[in-house]
Structure formats: structure tokens, C-alpha cells
Amino acid sequence: MLTSLAYIFLLGLLLGFIAEKLKLPRLIGMILAGIILGPYTFKFLDSSILNISSNLRQIALVIILTRAGLSLNIGDLKKVGRPAILMCFVPACLEILGTILIAPKLFGVTILEAAIMGSVLAAVSPAIIVPRMIQLIEGGYGTKNSIPQMILAGASVDDVFVVVLFTAFTGLASSGEISALSFLQIPISIILGVVVGIVVGIALVKFFKACQIRDTVKVLIILSVSFLLLECETLLKGIVPISALLAIMSMGVTIKQIHGVLATSIADQYNKLWVAAEIILFVLVGATVNLSYVAKAGLIAAIVVIGAMAFRMVGVYLCMLGTTLNKKERFFCMLAYTPKATVQAAIGGMPLAMGLACGDKVLMLAVMSILITAPFGAICIDRNYKTLLKE
């Protein structure tokens, strides 16, 4: 395992550095490192690392979502209002609709199978979007109209919404039945996640005020509480739906609102953790990419992914109607809401493992969506925010 970690960090750093020199986002180099090291190419990664790959990716997500919460000002988010709420589900719904319209004609699948494909494609990647929106907030780009805050919040809830839909669609494909309770889980998991995050955040602030401890110890405590929240979500699955990742982000927001100085100092520590977490996350995402599936998928899968992405961008545009955002700002929002990676890597293979007829096609699309949208979205954000957003 230690040797595999060394490969991950060294090759991830090297190819990330080369990508930067080529004026590309670091994550492209890191994903390429994962493809090279992964089990489908040169097989440098030990099975012990691959077996806990999903857990390691989840830890990285915890780090960046906590960091996002520590930088998100509720006052700024309130300025946005309606568009922020619409961003949580409208673009995803449009992308699923686009897949339902396109996939049956190109892949010969049923509408339900196309809906499963769409629910896999529709989850935006917080791991790509969140650190970039934090950078924009800190640099003051688009903050006058709270654009990064809106995208950041929308991307966090978008995943909850899409994963519940994916569960409902795959359940229908397996058993032929779908329950209204499946869709009721969406608002319940979101509301409970926010409420639990607020309560935990208040408790942590009170504890930190009562106990004089170092910032590094505070970070360890917050991380441990975050991991416990993830475990609670697992234990309560099938009983009470709750979004642990949303709770973790809400916890960070609460700390920011109550104790801004504490939030700033902890955020600095999380920035340091993200240096390592980012490498682990994107290298392991790259390790899930099976190039043989890409070869099989070919042009048809690329058309479906790009077509569905176009529907998503239309959905984002619809969310912006009636706002004071200018054309450049709206176009930036459309571009910034396109990257996919982490959720596709996590759930792309589940339909195949469940024995669904469309399983191999879903996996093809998941892999293709990572290879197309992750670089596209990251490049569009990194290269255009200075020209499209006001400082």
C-alpha cells in the first residue's frame, strides 16, 4: 500500500505540474496518472489501495466540502435566492431528459434504461467545482452577484437529488416497482442534512470556545465528526434518509456564521490538507477509467455525453432567467456547471454489478463523461473566469 501511495503522489504531482506548464488544469494530469497506474493499464496500484479507493475519495470530498462551508457566507447566498434553489435540480432534470431523448435512438435502450444513464451523467462534480469557486470567492470574482456562492451551493445539493433519482430508477429496473417514498427522500435528506449540520456546527463552536486547543487539533476533531456523520448516513440508510455531505458543508457554514475568525484559521489548515487530498482523489478517479470501455463506447457515447451536457447548459440558462446577471456571467455559469468525475466514478459500475441489461452501456457513458466533461469544465472555468466575471 505504501508503495502505491508513493506512486500516486509522485506521478500525480509530476503530471499535474506538466499539465500546469501546458496551461491545463492540474486535475487532467492527475487523472492521466491514475489511468497509467490503474488496474486497466500498467497495474502499479496494489489491490489494498483499490479496495479502499472509494473511502479515500470520500475523505477528499469531505475535506473540500468542509472547506467550502467555511468560506460560504449565507448573506451572499440570500442575495441570489431563487436561482440558487433552481440550480439544485433544474439542470440535472434537463440533462436526464436530454439523455432520455438521445440514448434510446443511439443505443437502442428503453426509456427507463436511458433514465438510469441520465441519472449517472447528471451528477455534477463538487471535487472540480468547489475548489474553483472557493478560489473565485477569495479573489473577488463574481462575488458582487454571488455567482460562485450560487454554483457552490447548487453543486452540493445537485448530487443528493441525482443520487436519489438513480436509486429510484435502478430499483424500478430491478423490481419493476417504484415507491413515492423514494422521491420523498430527496427533500427529507436535504433538510435533515442541513439541520444536523447546523446543530453540530453550533456544538463545535461552543466546545472550541470553552477549550483552548490548537487549530490542528480542531481540524482533527472536525474531520472525525465528519466521518461519524458519514457513518450515521450509512447506518440510517433505509430508515431515515440524510445527506451526510450536505451536513458536513452546513457544519462549515455554521462555524463561518458564528465564529468567522475560527472559520478562517481552520480553512487555512484545510487548504493544506487539500494539497494531498486532491492528488489522491483525482488519481483514484483516473484509476477507475477502463480504456477498453472507452474504445467500445466510441463516438456514440461521446455524442450522448455531449448532447446531455448541452441540455444541462440550457437548464442552467433557464435558472438565470429573471436575474440581473449579464450575458457573460450567465455563460460562465453554464460552463462552470458541466464537469463530472467523482459521482460517475462511484456509481457508474453499479448497474452492471446489479445485473441490469444496460449496465455495460451505463459504465461506458460514466467513463466517457469523466474523460470529456472533467477537462472541459475545469479548463472553461480556469481560462474564462477573469474575462467573464467582474472582479
Q: What is the pLDDT of residues 97-109, one digit of tens each?
A: 999 999 999 999 9
Assess whether pLDDT exceeds 90 at residue 199.
yes
Helix and strand numbers, DSSP H then E, in the chain: 19, 0
Q: How far is CA 304 from the centre of its chain?
A: 20
The predicted model gives 328-336 an average pLDDT of 96
Helices (H), 111-214: 111-121, 126-139, 147-175, 180-210
Q: How far apart are CA 53 and CA 50, in angstroms?
A: 5
Where residue 210 falls among pLDDT bands split at 50, 70, 90?
Answer: very high
**pTM higher than the cut 0.75:** yes
Write the single-letter amino acid at 36: I
The predicted model gives 67-73 an average pLDDT of 89
Assess whether pLDDT exceeds 70 at residue 280.
yes
The predicted model gives 186-195 an average pLDDT of 91
Assess whether pLDDT exceeds 70 at residue 118.
yes
Assess whether pLDDT exceeds 90 at residue 171.
no
Q: How far is CA 319 from the centre of its chain?
A: 20
Assess whether pLDDT exceeds 80 at residue 163.
yes
Q: What pLDDT is recorded for position 80?
A: 74
Mean pLDDT of all residues in the chain? 92
Assess whether pLDDT exceeds 90 at residue 167.
no
Write the single-letter amino acid at 305: V
287 close to 349: Cβ distance less than 8 angstroms: no
Q: What pLDDT is recorded for position 293?
A: 78
Q: What pLDDT is recorded for position 180?
A: 64
Q: What pLDDT is recorded for position 372?
A: 94
Where residue 311 falls among pLDDT bands split at 50, 70, 90?
Answer: very high
The burial class, CB within 10 Å (0-12 / 13-18 / 19+), for 112 is: middle
The predicted model gives 212-235 an average pLDDT of 95
Assess whether pLDDT exceeds 90 at residue 302.
yes
The predicted model gives 164-192 an average pLDDT of 81
Assess whether pLDDT exceeds 80 at residue 14.
yes
Q: What pLDDT is recorded for position 391?
A: 66
Assess whether pLDDT exceeds 80 at residue 176.
no
CA distances from 22 to 18, 71, 214, 250 (A): 6, 30, 40, 37
